[in-house]
Amino acid sequence: MASRKGVCLVIGAGDGLGSAVARAFAAEGLTVCMTRRPRNLEVLEAVAAEIRAGGGEAHAFGCDAREESEVIALFDRIEAEVGPLEVVVFNIGANVRFPIVETTARVFTKVWEMACFAGFLAGREAARIMAPRGRGTLIFTGATASVRGREGFAAFAAAKAGLRALAQSMARELGPEGVHVAHVVIDGAVDGTFIRSMRGEVDDLLARDSILKPADVAAAYVNLHRQPRSAWTHEMDLRPWSETW
Model confidence over 136-149: pLDDT tens digits? 999 999 999 999 99
User: 180: which DSSP letter?
Assistant: E
Count of beta carbons in the 10 Å neighbourhood of residue 136 = 23
Nearest to 65 by CA among 15, 16, 21, 124: 124
Q: Is-contact 97 150, C-beta < 8 A? A: no
Would the CA dihedral through 69, 73, 76, 78 be positive or negative?
negative
Cβ atoms 225, 236 nearer than 8 A? no
At 159-209, the pLDDT tens digits run 999 999 999 999 999 999 999 999 999 998 887 666 666 666 778 888 888
**What is the band of 4 on the pLDDT scale with cuts at 50, 70, 90?**
low
Can you give the pLDDT at residue 72? 98
Could you tell me the pTM of the whole model?
A: 0.93
CA distances in angstroms from 66 to 4, 61, 114, 118, 152, listed in the order given: 30, 15, 6, 5, 24
Q: Which CATH architecture has domain 7-238?
A: 3-Layer(aba) Sandwich (3.40)
The rounded percent of the chain whose pLDDT value lies above 90 is: 78
Q: What's the distance, Cα to Cα, between the start and end of the chain in Å?
A: 45
- For residue 212, list its beta bridge partners: 190
**DSSP assignments along 114-146, one per residue:** IIIIHHHHHHHHHHHHHHHHT--EEEEEEEGGG
pLDDT digits (tens, 9 = 90+) for 48-92: 999 999 999 999 999 999 999 999 999 999 999 999 999 999 999
Contacts of the segment 196-203: beta carbons below 8 A, 24+ positions apart: none
SS3 203: helix
Q: Which DSSP helix (H) or strand (E) runs through 163? A: helix 154-174
More confident residue, 189 or 221: 221
Evaluate whether 156 touches 94 at the Cβ level (below 8 Å).
Answer: yes
3-class SS at 210? Answer: coil
